[in-house]
Amino acid sequence: MAKAADEGPDMVSLTEVARRVVAEGIEDSMSHQRVSQLARDDPDFPPVVPIGRSKAVDWKLARLYFHERVKKQGKRSDLGE
């Protein structure tokens, strides 16, 4: 028989995504605000499901996303480069 964890999604809040990203050592730090920004702006972010006033995402997909994500360091706009 398959494990229960393998049968379906592991839906977690965006706050929990931020916590797990750090807990699993994927990133040194991650805020729920940054996860919300990525969910809103990055078309590669896994589907987000509204649950009441919160938003949730499948951790299995989010973990894969954060492992494969190519970080883009901030670029200063005031330097004119």
CA-based diameter of the chain, in Å?
A: 60
pLDDT in tens, 2-50: 555 568 899 999 999 999 999 999 999 999 999 999 999 999 999 999 9
| Structure-model confidence comparison of residues 22 and 73, the more confident one | 22
Which pLDDT score, from 0 to 100, does residue 1 have?
46
11-29: buried (b, 16+ CB within 10 Å) or exposed (e) per residue? Answer: ebebebbbebbeeeeeeee
- In this predicted structure, the answer to whether residue 61 has a pLDDT above a threshold of 50 is yes
Which pLDDT score, from 0 to 100, does residue 4 have?
57
5 three-state secondary structure: helix
